[in-house]
Amino acid sequence: MPDRGMAYTPEQLRASVYRDRPYIFNGLRHTLSELLSIARTYSALQKYEVTLNALNAIAKLLAGYLSIRDGDLMMPSSIHAMFGPTEFEFDTVLTEALEGISELNKASIRGGDIQLSLQIIDILEYLAIQSVGIHALFARPDENPTTAFIRAYMLGPVQDGAVRGQDDVIMSGARALSSIAKALLRKNQYLTVRTSIDELEKLAYFGIAQRKAHVTGTPVKGIAEILLVAVAEPIAERHTIHSALLAEQRICEAEMQFKSPTLDQSLRFALGAFLDMTQPTALANLEGLAIQGLSEAMEKHDLVKTDAYREVIRELNDGLWQHFVAIGVAAAKTESFALFDINSNISEIARQCLWLLGLLSRTKPEPIDEASALERRLHERFEADILKELNWIVGATYWRIFDALQPPVKTHVIWDFFPTLSHIGIQALDANVPSVAESAISELKSMALRAMEKPVESLQAAARIAAFVARIGIVALKLGAQRIVDVSIATLKEFQPRYLRKQREVEPEAESYDATLLNEIEDFKSELGIERWLIDEEDASFFGRVIPEDIDRFVALL
């Protein structure tokens, strides 16, 4: 916008001067063209130190040119793309140079010259990152058409290389895209970040189609790193986190269409960055990072950061259960080992959210004045949001995944689901969040009932699943959480007649039927007597705190 009393802003004036006198840049264009010619000549001779020098020189000169053209660079924005004339005006110096570089890259890919292609991708990445701070004459504040323009010239040849199966080119391109997107995100240029995520997703599909786990893994890691920046900074605006999560979900779904052998490492290489808990960019670790950031900000009374972290956690959790369901359903169809990763992520996220709910209830601000009253309202609303999403994650994911398993269910991975759910329920009782324990019971009940129709190994498995409801109920009885005791008793009472009916259906001629559920619960007592040196956290949360009398009291109620 022009200043008051001034026809043009300095940027507009400069842009018009440059547009009317394009010969001003002839010297620089000539120099760039000479350098490109040198790179082209020596690329044919495979003198890579010369090509590297020439390309670096081009990149530095173009970066210098962009910094001089800061504010007056002619680049069409997304608004131009949607409205107005279809003939766009691009900056000539940049366009010419990028055309030349892109042509050289295409030629190198056609000729299988990977080394040169990697050099070109590196310099374009450098240039794109340098352009992140440059403002175009017409651009929205949340987009950077210059970076998008450079990225487009980089991506064309990379996709060409991907089609030809040049793994190094596609991996280098994905790493460059990720770095560019992270730099853009730090400058709050969300629209361009989102298009970068889309491009990364496209690259991942090349890896999936070619069944190359390491190729799929690089874009997946790239998107996960973008998420990590968004969570750690924290930057939560314009649905960048949603967009990244959706992209990861679609990639996971596509990858899991292909059946992989149990404990096959290729799945870890392909999706590990997003799902494997041992990696820092795994979903649950991102949640943990955000929660840790929030608690630190709250401790320092940094209201701005606290708000930002709240937004990040809210966006991260918003509809997270749907991502889990989508990925889990895809994994269930091929009985993928990813089911184990999904279960681990849910377990960890639930643990962190319960801890966060505890923290929020402890640090609720007192409404002394208007500002503190507002802060308390925000605090409570955030608490409610977290609880709502946690209930969805715990109560709506597992049975949907279980439904997607093809009968007969052979995968042993689902046996991790039930102890996890009972553990979540017990943790919820400890954190005094009964609604989550109810969700866990409801989820276990759904699966136990479904296991009668779709047997897991045998019919007895349904009773074994229902016994995990009893675990929550026994601990609730010990803690005096009557509501949860009632819910668990009601659930088991609903289960038992159905189970008996099913037993009769399976063996109508039998003289008597086994009380499997009660036997399973009685088995807890014998397990309590066993001295176990190695016991996992989930079993320890139950066996470490109950005694046989607690179990008897619960059975008496049943």
Partner 1 sequence: MAGVVNSVFARLDTYRRFLLDRWNLTLRATRTKAKEGREWVLRRFTAVRTQLRVVLLTWWYAHRRRAFWACCIVVSLAAAVLVTWQWSELDSYLSSLEKPVISELAIGVGAAITGIIAIAFSLSLFAIQQVADRGTPATVQAYARDPVLNVIYWILAVLATSCFAAALLKVATTYRTVTVVVGLLALILSFILLNIHFKRVVKFADPRYTVSRFYKQGEGQLKRLKMLRDSIVPKESRSSRG
Nearest-angstrom CA–CA distance, 281 and 450? 34
Which is nearer to partner 1, 32 or 393 (by Cβ)? Answer: 32
Task: Give the tokens for residue 83.
Answer: 């409205």
Q: Which of 1, 20, 22, 31 binds partner 1 (CB under 8 A)?
A: 31
Q: Which of 1, 20, 23, 49 binds partner 1 (CB under 8 A)?
A: 49
Nearest-angstrom CA–CA distance, 326 and 404? 10
DSSP 8-state assignment for residue 397: S
Minimum distance from CB of 352 to partner 1 (Å)?
A: 51
Minimum distance from CB of 163 to partner 1 (Å)?
A: 32
Q: Which of 25, 138, 205, 355 binds partner 1 (CB under 8 A)?
A: 25
* Residue 6 contacts partner 1 per CB under 8 A: yes
Q: What are phi and psi of 509, to 5 degrees?
A: -90, -5
Minimum distance from CB of 357 to partner 1 (Å)?
A: 56
Which is nearer to partner 1, 65 or 269 (by Cβ)? Answer: 65
> In this chain, which stretch among 5-13, 314-322, 331-339, 356-364 interacts with partner 1, using CB under 8 A?
5-13
Residue type, 23: Y
**Residue corresponding to tokens 């929550």:** 472
Q: Which of 42, 274, 337, 468 binds partner 1 (CB under 8 A)?
A: 42
Minimum distance from CB of 17 to partner 1 (Å)?
A: 5
> In this chain, which stretch among 27-35, 167-175, 357-365, 394-402 interacts with partner 1, using CB under 8 A?
27-35
Which is nearer to partner 1, 115 or 361 (by Cβ)? Answer: 115
Q: Which of 19, 22, 43, 50 binds partner 1 (CB under 8 A)?
A: 50
Minimum distance from CB of 96 to partner 1 (Å)?
A: 14
Which is nearer to partner 1, 10 or 165 (by Cβ)? Answer: 10
Minimum distance from CB of 194 to partner 1 (Å)?
A: 32
Q: Which of residues 322-361 bind partner 1 (CB under 8 A)?
A: none
Which is nearer to partner 1, 25 or 415 (by Cβ)? Answer: 25
Per-residue three-class SS string for 402-446 = HHHCCCCECCCHHHHHHHHHHHHHHHHHHCCCHHHHHHHHHHHHH
Task: Give the tokens for residue 384.
Answer: 């409610």
Which is nearer to partner 1, 61 or 528 (by Cβ)? Answer: 61
Task: Give the tokens for residue 324.
Answer: 């889990």
Which is nearer to partner 1, 34 or 523 (by Cβ)? Answer: 34
* Residue 115 contacts partner 1 per CB under 8 A: no
Q: Find the Cα–Cα–Cα–Cα dihedral 154, 155, 161, 162, rounded to 10°.
A: 150
* Residue 37 contacts partner 1 per CB under 8 A: yes
Q: Which of 41, 257, 265, 432 binds partner 1 (CB under 8 A)?
A: 41
In this structure, is the dihedral angle defined by the CA atoms of residues 140, 142, 146 and 150, taken in order, positive or negative?
Answer: negative
Nearest-angstrom CA–CA distance, 192 and 204? 19
Minimum distance from CB of 7 to partner 1 (Å)?
A: 7
Task: Give the tokens for residue 56.
Answer: 């670096």
Measured at the CA of 170, the angle between CA 259 and CA 254, to 5 degrees, comes to 25
Name the nearest CA neighbour of 10 among 22, 19, 2. 2
Contacts 24+ apart (CB under 8 A), 373-382: 375/303, 378/307, 378/310, 382/310, 382/313, 382/314
**Residue corresponding to tokens 């369901």:** 325
Nearest-angstrom CA–CA distance, 457 and 461? 7
- Give strand pairing partners of 73: 136
Minimum distance from CB of 74 to partner 1 (Å)?
A: 15
Q: Which of 1, 20, 23, 45 binds partner 1 (CB under 8 A)?
A: 45
Q: Which of 5, 408, 497, 508 binds partner 1 (CB under 8 A)?
A: 5
Can you say how many angstroms the Cα of residue 501 is from the centroid of all Cα atoms in its chain? 43
Which is nearer to partner 1, 41 or 372 (by Cβ)? Answer: 41
Minimum distance from CB of 61 to partner 1 (Å)?
A: 4
* Residue 17 contacts partner 1 per CB under 8 A: yes
- Give strand pairing partners of 456: 409, 458
By CB under 8 A, the count of residues binding partner 1 is 33
Minimum distance from CB of 137 to partner 1 (Å)?
A: 14
Minimum distance from CB of 65 to partner 1 (Å)?
A: 7
Q: Which of residues 59-98 bind partner 1 (CB under 8 A)?
A: 60-61, 64-65, 68
> In this chain, which stretch among 25-33, 148-156, 164-172, 440-448 interacts with partner 1, using CB under 8 A?
25-33
* Residue 433 contacts partner 1 per CB under 8 A: no
402, 386 contact by CB (below 8 A) = no
Nearest-angstrom CA–CA distance, 52 and 39? 8
Measured at the CA of 52, the angle between CA 49 and CA 58, to 5 degrees, comes to 145
Which is nearer to partner 1, 33 or 78 (by Cβ)? Answer: 33
* Residue 135 contacts partner 1 per CB under 8 A: no
Which is nearer to partner 1, 64 or 544 (by Cβ)? Answer: 64
* Residue 47 contacts partner 1 per CB under 8 A: yes
Minimum distance from CB of 39 to partner 1 (Å)?
A: 9
* Residue 32 contacts partner 1 per CB under 8 A: yes
> In this chain, which stretch among 8-16, 101-109, 125-133, 306-314 interacts with partner 1, using CB under 8 A?
8-16
Measured at the CA of 474, the angle between CA 473 and CA 477, to 5 degrees, comes to 85
214, 269 contact by CB (below 8 A) = yes
220, 235 contact by CB (below 8 A) = no
Task: Give the tokens for residue 515.
Answer: 């009380």
Helix (H) or strand (E) holding 368: none
- Give strand pairing partners of 136: 73
Interacting residue ranges for partner 1, rule: CB under 8 A: 5-10, 13-14, 17, 24-25, 27-28, 31-32, 34-35, 37-38, 41-42, 45, 47, 49-50, 53-54, 57, 60-61, 64-65, 68
